[in-house]
Amino acid sequence: AATSAAATSAAATSAAAASAAATTAAAASKSDADDCPGRVPFHGLLTCQGSVYQQWQARIMYFHWKKQTAAAGPCGDMGGFTRLVASEGGKPDGLEGEIPSVFVPQLPASVIESHFHFGVLNRPESVRQLLASPALLRQITSDFVLVLETDHVLMQPIPNLATRTTPAAFTFGYMHAHASQDWVIQRYWPEGSSASLDPVGPSPLLIHLDQLRAIAPRWLNFLLGLRSNADAERVMQGWVQEMWGYSIAAASLGVKHRLVRNFQVEYGASAGRIPPEFPTLSYIFHYTYGIEYTLQGRPQGVMQIGEWSLDKRHYGADHPPRGLQLPPDGANAAAFWLTRAWNEASAGIPAWPDSHSMGTVGWRRNKPTADELAASPLARRVEGSRWSWSGVAGFEFARGGELVTPWGKGVWGLVSKAAGGADDPSKDAQVKACADCLFADFANANHNVRFSWDADPPTFRSVRVGDLQEVAGKWLGGGGPAA
């Protein structure tokens, strides 16, 4: 009962804080409307869940929202902001003091599991709950909302691109419907066809609340249908079916969008030359893809983690470190801009936590090639050696980068050399910038391993990426000659 009361109290405190922020924003909007004729403000609506993975992205997103709101000045269309969080039981997650937030109960695990573990179902469900609640809607200070995602970084102020009857959305190349999809579309909208669908999703989306209120129930219901079985997967990729649910729902109501090609960019390393002024040509950087380079500044390759790598997926349970190493010479302008945008936000948020993860170097963890083995005295010495791991024998750096452990097989190899770290004995440096380490990855965990050859017998210290858990190892035999 005490726990329930505490949760209720925390939720009430969060709601009160959000309400106060909304009242202030509404007053400011009215004043601005008096002083700025023609201004049509909109409210930022960031949909997310309360995981660490989405928390750190939301913090970067909101930092740059505030920056661009300030740049727009008092007559800009950017108005209030709300982070709409689907959480267990609708409980606050602790960021409500930093980011204006409201919390709604997430869908039960049984529903997510029965729809192929598709957690994105929570987005239309959370929007539905928001629009159905007069209390929650009081947090929205404008008649228009811009639906945002956590991995959006604003590059310049955004004007209101929508009207009361025509929402504005980004046009996605993979969302152009075709006749082979008609049978899926007509399962949920019998009189519909692919010709009626816009190539859009629900974010980024600038839309009037009345239109969003009409679309939201169908968006959720159509998505639940698409994910209820594997039929749609034959013609609609599973990871974008939430976007298809929205597109079909909007079309079924006769809603046509203004297609905004420069609403966002999604640049990666393979984008080639990007003009340095690209942040002035589009509004949002959507970092849905990783940016992967060799340390020589060449694209690493398709579906490859780079020797230099900026990818949100590296930080599933930890914040990225502050002061990320910039891309190598030769990388495109987008790689430099996005790295600096992350660094600016993490440096500008006082409560950004210390990270126990690697920065932009060290994530490429492949078995060593013959050339890499030949060039590394350390790898040649370790290859074929047997060790104990926390006193348990059976840990072997087998030939060809194969790792044999009592807990299953893994991979070992060379850690890419980040700037600094060679002479720093700390566990943190061993993860973030180890110049004389090997990696040993097994049991779904990454470990950086540093050896002490002067000990008798030789030993190693392993530090796990993400939480700095330390394990000691002792040499039992085998391996190549000393360098």
Q: Nearest Cα to 139, choosing from 87, 99, 95, 102?
A: 102
- Tens digit of pLDDT per residue, the chain (483 long)? 333 334 444 444 444 455 455 445 545 554 555 689 999 999 999 999 999 999 999 999 999 999 999 999 999 999 999 999 999 999 999 999 999 999 999 999 999 999 999 999 999 999 999 999 999 999 999 999 999 999 999 999 999 999 999 999 999 999 999 999 999 999 999 999 999 999 999 999 999 999 999 999 999 999 999 999 999 999 999 999 999 999 999 999 999 999 999 999 999 999 978 999 999 999 999 999 999 999 999 999 889 999 999 999 999 999 999 999 999 999 999 999 999 999 999 999 999 999 999 999 999 999 999 999 999 999 999 999 999 999 999 999 999 999 999 999 999 999 887 775 556 788 988 998 887 899 999 999 999 999 999 999 999 999 999 999 999 999 999 998 764
Q: Note the pLDDT of residue 24.
A: 52
Q: Note the pLDDT of residue 107.
A: 97
For the chain, the straight-line distance linking the first and the last C-alpha, in angstroms and rounded, comes to 64
Cα–Cα distances in angstroms (integers) from residue 252 to residues 102, 190, 211, 316, in the given order: 30, 9, 12, 37
In angstroms, the CA 183 to CA 403 distance is: 49
Using CA atoms in the order 124, 128, 130, 131, what is the torsion angle rounded to 10 degrees? 130
Q: Note the pLDDT of residue 133.
A: 96
Q: Note the pLDDT of residue 421.
A: 52
Q: Note the pLDDT of residue 351.
A: 97
